Structure 1
Amino acid sequence: MMTNEQLAVIADQICPMYAIVDAKGYIQRVGPTLRKLRPDLKWEGRRFFRVFDLSRPRRVRSMADLVNTAGSKLHLHFRDTPQTSLKGVLVPLPQGQGAIINLSFGISVLEAVRDYDLTSADFSPTDLTIEMLYLVEAKSAAMEASRQLNLRLQGAKIAAEEQAFTDTLTGLKNRRAMDHILDRLISGGRDFALMHLDLDYFKQVNDTLGHAAGDAVLQHVARVMVECTRQSDTVARVGGDEFVLIFNDLRDLRQIEGLARRLISELEVPIPYGGKMCKISASAGTTLSAWHSGTFTAAEILNESDVALYAAKGSGRAQHCFYEKGMENKVLALDH
């Protein structure tokens, strides 16, 4: 006849989450994995029902009742915390010596592995739990790889969108970005001022010093404009030497005039390039969304700023003008 000790040695290998209980309900031995769940507990000699609370079958009140559940699935959990849920099945030992109860985690295995730092060595080599854990790990790895790929794709998408809205030479917004921002401001009913700025004498720089000098001048102009505006404002290069500045929530004419004068003054400072000085200036025209009592389009307000710009150029270089109704006729007269 096999002794309990011999039985336990075999059980340690093939079902390491077992408990051997004598006929009076006292624990005689537990498997290595079960012991790992409560390493400070002195298992031997403890009553099984003092360690575990059996939730199903509900009729079990004694060791005799427990033995009568042989072959049925047991639902139980630890009485102390963490109250890990377990599943079990009981097999009676010969000659009424008690029973061996094989336990498992069931669907709570993932939490148990996390809470008790279990490894594959804590399960039977044939336990499907191991395969499930490998599948979970593989799924987690695949999901993480997918998440990283999505992040890279999202980053690439953002970079592509940013590039599509950026002037590559100056780093400013381009015309497409300006159109998008204008449409958003107009549809949202936001107040803004729009300034159209054009460089004076830029063609002479290109003609006398070359396009590389012209590019350096444009990059310098972009830096000046960014420094003179707020972070909430928009500076866009919309043509060779044409720029549009959008000032959010700004309708103070004196403040706008001050900004224009500062920009023009800064841009009149000669720009060194290749041992020579590039001299330019700027003219600007501004209109305000607040001057429109009804609905208006981006094309209409851009045309107003363009008319004001030409009026400024007609008044002499390095000038700034606000748009006025009827200014179109004055500009036409200047052209003639």
Structure 2
Amino acid sequence: MRLVLLWAAGVLLASAWAAGSAREGGALAPPAAAPEQPMQAGVVPVRGPGGLALQGQVAVLADPTGLLTLDEVRAASAAARWSTPNQPLRAGGPTVWWQRLVLQPQQAHGRWLLALPSTALRDVTLFGPFAADGSALAPPQASGLIRPFASRPLGLERLTFVLDLPEPGTYTVYLRVQSSIVQHMTPTLWHASDLHLARQHQRLFDGVVYGALVAFLFAALALWLSFRDTLFAWFGAMSGAALLTLLSFNGHAAQYLWPHSPWWIEHSYVSFPALWLVASAGFARAFLNTRQTAPAFDAVLLLLAVLALGSLCLGLAGWTVWAHGANELIALLGSAALALIAALLWRRGFTPARWYLLGSLAPFASVAALLLFNWGVSDWLFMQHNSLELGLLLQSLVLSGALSARIRHVQRQNALLARRADRLATAASTDSLTGLTNRRGLVEVSASLLRRPGQHAVVLLDLDRFKPINDQLGHEAGDFVLAELGRRLQRHSRTRDVVARLGGDEFVLLIGQCPARPELDALVERLRELLDAPIHYREHALRVSASIGVAISPDDGVELQSLLRAADWAMYGAKQQRNGVRFAADAPRTEPPTGLMQMP
């Protein structure tokens, strides 16, 4: 637990330091320009599977007003304002950045592509290439978020421009770049066929990630339709928002969803991440059940959701810079808070929280890596391009395991509740002294048993000579006798028959699909002899007997109430004539029995 707290605190301090150092001078500008210098050395285009990295070979010029023209930046008077930094170039804020690249191809008729690493640059215009005599070989190419997707010269997700270099020589290219948010802008030079192959690999990776998120989305929908649990609805919303976020960041939303809407192209970069943050907070509340188990933690998650909704409103209102900064801060602090909350709940004994803890670490690490790159602390391009996809994919995989753990947890709880309900139901229908079925249980069982085809019998047994045992030896002896007689009746009955104690010293045997009358006579006689056998209690050999009345369905009735009434008439006759057993069909009903059965 201490390690988790120290880790979270360390990451937050490092992030705060990085943010402060990155923003001290406004946008992340390159080092101050050196005194006037000659044109930088030309870059020789070279083919390679990863393109030709141009870090340290691109000159930049800052235009805080955004009013400089191409002629002004090309003029000799602007030479002192150009610099060639060695670190990756970044654009952000209101400042416009000019880039200058000198190319010296060694072969004629070369077709090269100049690709920027980000899909979220607001406005980019390429001028040139210019030949050595200053003449332009092609008209300007303009693209960016503020233009429809069709403005992109090759129709690619990332901003990529065509450079036709007709013959060996020296050519100069200028890029005018503007971004609302901090973005990497160091271009890469590609041969057309190499970029095509690299894009195939990237699209395959993107397709795998998109497919996984779509699968999670539909699985969550199916689970929600099956269980109607908001937990699965939030998981589906989180997967859908994560998918839209990645589609926006990778440029595929602009390409396929709204290619003709610059407004959506620009605003989707901040709107969908905010929705993802809202859905993540909602899923955390549902999964960790903080509303019931940890109200203080629940307030934190609600605050994160409200802040994310505020960021969404900022983005939709056009305050994209503020919205992007808010999204970054909420994502970083929210991931750390969720990890801490999950760790604390795990420590309290909520075992599914360990899965959520693992799931929250993945996006935390990816967001932290992306922010460190954007803030200039890290220069690893792979993390800029793929960290968020890897983090979200890993999170979804882990959280799908977490959902499985949560489902198993709920199933175990439901199984415990079902067993408890069964025990309560059994207790409600069981006689606590003898363990036999009680009056209520007999009513419930008889409803289905008596509807079966064939004859059924109700055997009513009322003990004789039982009262003196209670009076002379006490209720403990009486209870012992009742329990022993219940065990005897249970042992000598068929498994499909029901033995019940109605209360006091009255027992009932419900015989389903009873045998014919001669065999039934023999069975009842054995029961009477069984009850007549002595019962050894301490030093006493106690003896009781039973008066037995038998009613047969359907001749004596078809329902339990009527059969018990008929058996009671027969038992009354047996008790009067002291012959032990009587069937309802043989009992005259001239006088009402004193113990007429009344069932609920």
TM-score by length of 1: 0.64
Equivalent pair of 1:287/1:304 in contact (CA under 8 Å): yes
2:190 to 94, 97, 103: 94
Q: Which amino acid aligns with 1:310?
A: Y
Does residue 322 of the first structure (1) align with residue 574 of the second (2)? no
How far apart are 1:71 and its partner, in Å?
Answer: 3.8
C-alpha distance after superposition, 1:69-111 (max 9, x if no partner): 8549xxxxxxxxxxxxxxxxxxx97124523122142334799
Does residue 107 of the first structure (1) align with residue 211 of the second (2)? yes
* Alpha-carbon separation, structure 2, partners of 1:258 and 1:211: 33
Gaps (5+ residues) in structure 1?
8-67, 73-91, 113-118
Q: Which amino acid aligns with 2:583?
A: F
* Alpha-carbon separation, structure 2, partners of 1:2 and 1:144: 57
Does residue 235 of the first structure (1) align with residue 499 of the second (2)? yes
Aligned residue for 2:437, secondary structure, equals coil
C-alpha distance after superposition, 1:280-309 (max 9, x if no partner): 1112110100315xx744322111100111
Partner of 1:194: 458
* Alpha-carbon separation, structure 2, partners of 1:4 and 1:201: 107
Equivalent pair of 1:201/1:280 in contact (CA under 8 Å): yes
1:218 to 482, 499, 503: 482
C-alpha distance after superposition, 1:112-164 (max 9, x if no partner): 9xxxxxx979x954321122223322222221111111111111111111111
* Alpha-carbon separation, structure 1, partners of 2:527 and 2:214: 65
Q: Which amino acid aligns with 2:581?
A: H
Q: Which amino acid aligns with 1:304?
A: A
C-alpha distance after superposition, 1:196-230 (max 9, x if no partner): 00111111111111111111111110111011110
Aligned residue for 2:191, secondary structure, equals helix
Does residue 256 of the first structure (1) align with residue 520 of the second (2)? yes
| Distance change >3 Å, CA 269–CA 332, structure 1 → 2 | closer
Q: Percent identity?
A: 29
* Alpha-carbon separation, structure 2, partners of 1:260 and 1:322: 10
| Distance change >3 Å, CA 250–CA 70, structure 1 → 2 | same
Aligned residue for 2:567, secondary structure, equals helix
2:567 to 299, 305, 321: 305
Q: Which amino acid aligns with 1:94?
A: W
Equivalent pair of 2:459/2:548 in contact (CA under 8 Å): yes
* Alpha-carbon separation, structure 1, partners of 2:408 and 2:480: 45
Aligned residue for 1:286, secondary structure, equals strand
Equivalent pair of 2:570/2:587 in contact (CA under 8 Å): no
Does residue 204 of the first structure (1) align with residue 468 of the second (2)? yes
Q: Which amino acid aligns with 1:311?
A: G
Does residue 245 of the first structure (1) align with residue 506 of the second (2)? no
| Distance change >3 Å, CA 3–CA 259, structure 1 → 2 | farther
* Alpha-carbon separation, structure 2, partners of 1:248 and 1:93: 90
Q: Which amino acid aligns with 1:164?
A: A
Equivalent pair of 1:251/1:290 in contact (CA under 8 Å): no
How far apart are 1:181 and its partner, in Å?
Answer: 2.4
| Distance change >3 Å, CA 150–CA 261, structure 1 → 2 | same
* Alpha-carbon separation, structure 2, partners of 1:326 and 1:209: 35
* Alpha-carbon separation, structure 1, partners of 2:532 and 2:429: 28
Number of corresponding residues = 247
| Distance change >3 Å, CA 185–CA 95, structure 1 → 2 | closer
Equivalent pair of 2:568/2:593 in contact (CA under 8 Å): no
Equivalent pair of 1:311/1:330 in contact (CA under 8 Å): no
TM-score by length of 2: 0.37
Equivalent pair of 1:228/1:259 in contact (CA under 8 Å): no
Structure with more of its chain in strand, by fraction: 1
Aligned residue for 1:238, secondary structure, equals strand
Does residue 126 of the first structure (1) align with residue 388 of the second (2)? yes
Aligned residue for 2:520, secondary structure, equals helix
* Alpha-carbon separation, structure 2, partners of 1:131 and 1:332: 76
How far apart are 1:184 and its partner, in Å?
Answer: 2.9
Please report the RMSD computed on the Cα atoms of aligned residues, expressed in angstroms. 3.5
* Alpha-carbon separation, structure 1, partners of 2:504 and 2:455: 28
Equivalent pair of 1:197/1:309 in contact (CA under 8 Å): yes
Equivalent pair of 1:308/1:321 in contact (CA under 8 Å): yes
| Distance change >3 Å, CA 244–CA 320, structure 1 → 2 | same
Structure with more of its chain in helix, by fraction: 2
Equivalent pair of 2:460/2:508 in contact (CA under 8 Å): yes
Does residue 280 of the first structure (1) align with residue 544 of the second (2)? yes
Partner of 1:163: 427
Equivalent pair of 1:193/1:251 in contact (CA under 8 Å): no
C-alpha distance after superposition, 1:215-266 (max 9, x if no partner): 1111110111011110000000002110111100114111211111111112
Aligned residue for 1:255, secondary structure, equals helix
* Alpha-carbon separation, structure 2, partners of 1:5 and 1:213: 96
